[in-house]
Amino acid sequence: MSDVMARLTARLGGMIAYGGDYNPEQWPREVWKEDARLMREAGVNLVTVGVFSWAWIEPRPGRYEFGFLDEVLGLLHEHGIAVDLATATASPPPWFLARHPEAMPVTAEGVRLWHGSRQGFCPSSPAYAEAAGRLVEQLAARYAGHPALALWHVHNEWGNHNAHCFCDASAAAFRDWLRERYGDLDALNDAWGTAFWSQRYGDWAEVMPPRATPAFRNPGQQLDYWRFSSDALLALHRAEAAVLRRLSPDVPITTNLMGTLEKKVDGFAFARECDLVAVDHYLTAADPQAHIDLSLNADLARGMAGGGPWLLMEHSTSAVNWQPRNIAKAPGEMRRNSLAHLARGADGIMYFQWRQSRAGAEKWHSAMLPHGGTATTTWRAVRDLGAELRTLRPVAGGAVEAEVAMLFDWHAWWALELEARPSVDVRYLDLIRHWYAALWRGGVTCDVVHPGTDLSRYRLVLVPSQYLVTDADAASLCRYVEDGGHAVVGFFSGVADERDHVRLGGHPGAYRGLLGLLVDEFLPLREKETVALDDGTTGTVWSERIVLEGAQAVRTFASGPAAGGPALTRHAHGRGTAWYVATRPEADALERILMDACGEAGVTPAVSAPGGVEAVRRAGADSAHLFVMNHTDETVFVPVRGTVVTGAARPADGGVEVAPGEVVVVRETAGA
Ligand code: GAL
């Protein structure tokens, strides 16, 4: 995958990709020329075209009109701007659902969702697959050899709005998927535990998607339905990719994934089907720690890209339009966000969208060229960043230094949050974010990876939450520690197998030997209840009664239902060490726990910087670049050795002073 990104960079003259979604169909032709001119002025070298152009390319069924795309691609090419051409399948035109009302998505309650927004189709609809397939054939045949074409952009944000459909076509496809997975009904009944509540199936026709029911739905049925739904979209992705590979074999294929912003789509599975990993990321304006979520998602993008560079396909220059209160970015924030992605392995910085719409549902969403045109702060920031990225071109291709891995798995997320669990407060992303933020505050960079990844190159592996784990992935973590690795495991991990069956023989099932303990009983806490630990810190959400079987108690509960029992344990296992965290520690306490583990594992931050300062190193073949991002309101001193490439830094003894909100990129001196 990194080769593909390197080829794209070479195609762009060695530059970091810079641009955004370009939707010229929303504008009269005269504007297109101005667009191309201003793109040049801003240093734009790659734009995504055609994401929502289906109704323009195929205005009536089977009638294809390419005039507008021919003209736009020609114009962009003349201006030296490469094109990431979308397959346009994300929004079928009104004629499609008028002809195929059966392709409308249906909710679990049986409500049909009509045309008038986007992604208005059932992922298992044969009519949709056929219409999309025909469109992609036409596009690929016409543009395969176009000189502007640098990348194919399959669909757009698969499953963002329509991942779960409960219609009859979905029911039939679900049955086919289950037949493939289980072979026969006995195996299905066993996997779903249908001996419970008289749910035994005697005929495939009785098997349904988990439509609305009077009481809890079968968890095995639900979990498989999440898997099936992600796979149904993946099948559509594969079908498009197959057409593109057949007709346009030289052009790489991507799709814009959504990381933690999309629960329903297994990002790792999609990443495996792309030549190049691309992601979108949007900040949650209400979250004061939104920049940490950005870092988490960038590290996950890199994990999906197998550690290599990736492309940031969309983020925003300022406010979005889909949150309750759409807060504009503060001066300098867009640059800080963009450079944080670059620091964490992006070789391309793109936005939604180039020119702010004047009509439609997204007219109040920011863009590179706002309604106010070139007289705006945002435009100036966009133009300045384009110039800065040209200076930063040697960063492209560099590998991000990370000695820690954090395990992330969509299947564990799905399973943890099914109905009827010990506590609704145990939320997958909450735990991932809480642990990630603690590590981030400690200044340590991690790769966010799938549990099946080869862990041997990491000094430390963090497992914030892994309710469901396959036998193979559990064995891999155990082996990693036996061979000398260090792991920290969060509560309620290792307890269920991939069918969501409890692992018997004592909790925490797969990790009882690794952790050297037995959980006698889970003791989840009341809403907002806190329990004290013996070091004066507190935990929330969870506690449990632990019997030590070789592990040592590092901290004990001082109050609450598990008072007197272990809260944090450490177990020497094989040649390595495994810690276990039996509550949700308060932020500072968790930071100390993880930093102690880092210390024992020999992991150090990229540079010793004050709290709230993010420092990440990207090392290329010839040089290493240290990115320093000051998220605080104070000027900070950071010890660095090297030359400041971009950003305002005041030289100081042994380092630099970085102003509030500033980003400084330092080309490090060898041996620093
Ligand atoms: C993305 C989507 C874009 C645009 C953007 C607005 O989810 O791919 O088309 O809608 O959000 O933030």
pLDDT tens-digit readout, 156-209: 999 999 999 999 999 999 999 999 999 999 999 999 999 999 999 999 999 999
Is residue 475 one of the residues assigned to a domain? yes
Q: In a mutational test of the pocket of ligand 1, which residue from 256, 265, 352, 357 has the highest number of ligand atoms less than 8 Å from its CB?
A: 352
Is residue 381 one of the residues assigned to a domain? yes
Pairing mode, strands 663-668 and 655-658: unpaired
Q: How many Cβ atoms from other residues are within 10 Å of residue 210's Cβ? A: 21
Residues 647 and 510 placed together within one structural domain of the fold: no
- Among 601, 634, 655, the domain-final residue is 601
Write the CATH number for 304. 3.20.20.80
**Helices marked H in 252-344:** 267-271, 290-304, 333-343
Q: For residues 560 and 564, what is the distance between their CA atoms, to the nearest angstrom? A: 9
Nearest to 232 by CA among 182, 164, 167, 184: 164
The DSSP 8-state label assigned to residue 454 in this structure reads -
Residues 318 and 353 placed together within one structural domain of the fold: yes
In angstroms, the Cα distances linking 583 to 416, 533, 535, 539 are 16, 10, 14, 6
Is residue 661 one of the residues assigned to a domain? yes
Is residue 332 one of the residues assigned to a domain? yes
Residue 390 has pLDDT above 70, yes or no: yes
Residues 326 and 466 placed together within one structural domain of the fold: no
Task: Locate the ligand 1 atom nearest the alpha carbon of residue 52 and give its number.
Answer: 9
pLDDT tens-digit readout, 448-496: 999 999 999 999 999 999 999 999 999 999 999 999 999 999 999 999 9
Q: For residues 144 and 250, what is the distance between their CA atoms, to the nearest angstrom? A: 8
Residues 566 and 656 placed together within one structural domain of the fold: no
The CA 21 to ligand 1 mean position distance, Å, reads 9
Q: Is 647 left (phi over 0), alpha (psi -120 to 50) or beta?
A: left
The CA 327 to ligand 1 mean position distance, Å, reads 16
Pairing mode, strands 636-638 and 655-658: antiparallel
What pLDDT, on the 0 to 100 scale, is given for residue 672? Answer: 44
Query: What are the tokens at 272?
Result: 């495996």
Residues 390 and 413 placed together within one structural domain of the fold: no
The pLDDT-based confidence of 1 (bands split at 50, 70, 90) is low
Host domain of residue 388:
2-163+229-397
- Tell me the percentage of the chain whose pLDDT exceeds 90: 98
The CA 168 to ligand 1 mean position distance, Å, reads 29
Place of tokens 């291709």: 397
Is residue 619 one of the residues assigned to a domain? yes
Which residue owns the Cα nearest ligand 1 atom 11?
352
Is residue 484 one of the residues assigned to a domain? yes
- Among 546, 571, 601, the domain-final residue is 601
Place of tokens 């040697």: 394
| 262 touches ligand 1 (CB under 6 Å) | no
Q: Where are the beta strands (DSSP E) in 533-612?
A: 538-540, 544-548, 552-556, 566-573, 576-581, 584-585
Q: For residues 133 and 239, what is the distance between their CA atoms, to the nearest angstrom? A: 7
Give the bridge partners for 625, in sequence order.
Answer: 618, 667
Residues 538-567, mean pLDDT to the nearest whole number: 98
Which residue owns the Cα nearest ligand 1 atom 3?
352
Which residue owns the Cα nearest ligand 1 atom 7?
157
Task: Locate the ligand 1 atom nearest the alpha carbon of residue 160 and give its number.
Answer: 7
pLDDT tens-digit readout, 577-586: 999 999 999 9
State the helix-helix crossing angle for 29-42 and 67-78, rounded to 10 degrees.
30
| 280 touches ligand 1 (CB under 6 Å) | yes
Q: For residues 305 and 293, what is the distance between their CA atoms, to the nearest angstrom? A: 18
Is residue 219 one of the residues assigned to a domain? no
Q: For residues 159 and 608, what is the distance between their CA atoms, to the nearest angstrom? A: 41
Backbone angles phi, psi at 422, to 5 degrees: -60, -30
Residue 671 has pLDDT above 90, yes or no: no
| 357 touches ligand 1 (CB under 6 Å) | no
Catalogue the active-site residues.
Answer: 157, 314
Residues 532 and 665 placed together within one structural domain of the fold: no
Q: Is 414 left (phi over 0), alpha (psi -120 to 50) or beta?
A: alpha
| 315 touches ligand 1 (CB under 6 Å) | no
The H or E element containing residue 20 is strand 17-22
Give the bridge partners for 187, in sequence order.
Answer: none
DSSP letters, 523-547, are -PPPTT-EEEBTTS-EEES--EEEE
Residues 320 and 386 placed together within one structural domain of the fold: yes
| 157 touches ligand 1 (CB under 6 Å) | yes
The CA 352 to ligand 1 mean position distance, Å, reads 6
pLDDT tens-digit readout, 105-127: 999 999 999 999 999 999 999 99
Report the SS3 class of residue 16: coil
Helices (H), strands (E): how many in the chain?
18, 29
Q: Which long-range contacts (CB under 8 A, 24 or more apart) does 601-607 make?
A: 601/403, 601/404, 601/459, 601/460, 601/486, 601/577, 602/403, 602/459, 603/403, 603/404, 603/444, 603/459, 603/460, 604/444, 605/442, 605/443, 605/444, 606/401, 606/443, 606/445, 607/443, 607/638, 607/639, 607/640
Give the bridge partners for 63, in sequence order.
Answer: 60
In angstroms, the Cα distances linking 474 to 42, 307, 434 are 49, 22, 23
| 282 touches ligand 1 (CB under 6 Å) | yes
Is residue 523 one of the residues assigned to a domain? yes
Write the CATH number for 630. 2.60.40.1180
Residues 455 and 531 placed together within one structural domain of the fold: yes
The pLDDT-based confidence of 621 (bands split at 50, 70, 90) is confident
Which residue owns the Cα nearest ligand 1 atom 4?
352
Total domain count, the chain: 3
Give the bridge partners for 638, in sequence order.
Answer: 656
- Among 568, 601, 634, the domain-final residue is 601
Write the CATH number for 464. 3.40.50.880
Tell me, what amino acid is at 426?
V
Report the SS3 class of residue 26: helix
| 158 touches ligand 1 (CB under 6 Å) | no
| 362 touches ligand 1 (CB under 6 Å) | yes
Residues 542 and 644 placed together within one structural domain of the fold: no
Residues 372 and 268 placed together within one structural domain of the fold: yes
Residues 592 and 628 placed together within one structural domain of the fold: no
What pLDDT, on the 0 to 100 scale, is given for residue 241? Answer: 98
How much is the mean pLDDT over the chain? 97
The pLDDT-based confidence of 286 (bands split at 50, 70, 90) is confident
Residues 449 and 494 placed together within one structural domain of the fold: yes
The CA 412 to ligand 1 mean position distance, Å, reads 26
Residues 348-352, mean pLDDT to the nearest whole number: 98
Contacts of 201 (CB under 8 A, 6+ apart): 185, 188, 189, 194, 207
The CA 561 to ligand 1 mean position distance, Å, reads 46
Backbone angles phi, psi at 200, to 5 degrees: -60, 130
What pLDDT, on the 0 to 100 scale, is given for residue 622? Answer: 82
